[in-house]
Structure 1
Amino acid sequence: MRDYDALILDLDGTLLKDDGTIPPATRIALQRISAEDIHVMIATGRSEQSAEPVIQDLGILNPSVIYNGAAIWCPREKRLIEERHLADDHLECLLSFAEVEGLLPVVMCAGSKRALSPSSEIFNYALHDMKDIEIVSEAEMRVERPIRLSLFSDRHQDTDSFARSVRNVSSTDAYLTWFPLNLLPSHRDSPLQVVDIQPQCEGKKEALRYLQESRGICANRCVAIGDAPNDIPMVEAAGLGVAMGNGMDELKEVANRVIGSNNSAAIAELVDELWP
């Protein structure tokens, strides 16, 4: 009898290699267990535009947690089946803060990403691989039903201090995630720090809530794998929490297991061990 009924995977630094592809052995292993009725679910900080090509490439079209838990995307129906929103006055406050502090803001809502014209080449490069981003006026940044605001800083030396400064002007119930942009393989040389502001949620732990409500799979029957601090909520709450070997120390400290790097067949090996 199997111990786990679901597998939840982060994308960048976890399912995906540094070159943005899925290791062949991992693809085969995930498709095998999906066919055997193990529920495979993606939980990512990406938007639907950015996550959708990877989900389609994997070929397992189950609903996916996106925006770090603020929304759930159905790849079969190509629509959000859940979404939460930042309050208009909260968005206004944060955009004003970004202007005063010289930050680059990127606002996202269903089907749309908008940014102001970057003030430097460093900021411009930060946007180079954002799928379908529009450069707009200040007025056009005030979108309806905003799901996330991302702020990029070239003035802070570390993400913790940047996150504290954002928290000081942010709604107390907002869900913040933060990371150095050079955590992403395509931005290894970037000096920028990033803070993502999402509406109140439980982060990627929302994947466990959704599986319980929609599939009747409780958290202790789930395996969750990630590489970064924004994966902590789901890794801590899952029956088996797994950190990638290339992951950040904060996640490794709370994980039940640490496996190999995202550039290896480590996930395939774990899958074959747990679901032989």
Structure 2
Amino acid sequence: MAIFNRYFTVLFRLKTKWISLLLIIQTVASFAMTFFNFNNGHVYINRHIFSNFFTLWLAIFIVQAWLFTGIFYLTTCFQNERVSGNQTWRLIPIDDKKFYFDNILSSFAALLFFVILEIICTLILSVVTFTFDSQFHRSLIELFADIGRHLQQVDLEIMFNFFGALMMVILCAFFGYFIISFLNYSSRALLDFLPQALSKAYFRIIAVLVIILVAWLAIKASNIGLQIISFPFRFMMGETTGTNDDLAIALLLMLLINILFWFFDTILFSKFFEAREGK
């Protein structure tokens, strides 16, 4: 457990190395978009900047927070696969299954840390806006008063929907890590079993064709199973009734899907996925 915690800390620091840079870029970019207008390749100073500068800055910052969170998530996905394929990391004295889980868990912790920092920065900018923008000051007070009235009507059903949606987001984040690793590990395993006489380009083409063929056969062979597995995603797309029962089923199935891909990934990673030097 001590080794697991030690390498979790190392991987967490590795994946949070660029957080401060991303937040600085986001802050500067949102400030520039507030202060300047961009039109037909020309840059103009915003003429209405002094009337609602902080409110506009806050709005742009919040919108960009979603973009930068997505960028950071993709960055952790890339770092996951880079660490997994690095021969130096694979030589550390820890079981492959534990190392894989350490890698995934540190990525999620880094993502959670980034989201918390985004929330803190948003709150700080909100306080500044609340102080200097009188209209935002009044609107925020009215909003909190309205929220306070609605909180009196909160029941177990609403709480279940809130925490259920939060759990769905967490499970979707893990699913993204698992499916990217699965595609990486399975394609690399297929390439390693192909004749070495073929060129790398042919390797990749054949691997893609094999993956498509396997997926097609799986769909044809288990249409009922596919409907069950796809339920969480159809739920998120609004194709189901959206009741509490549907949410509970979607959460359970998404959990089972994550466990299934985690099981496949650990087998592929420990048995078939060979790290390469200099990756």
TM-score by length of 1: 0.22
Q: Which structure shows the bigger proportion of residues in helix conformation?
A: 2
Relative to its length, the structure with more strand (as a share) is 1
Structure showing greater radius of gyration is 2
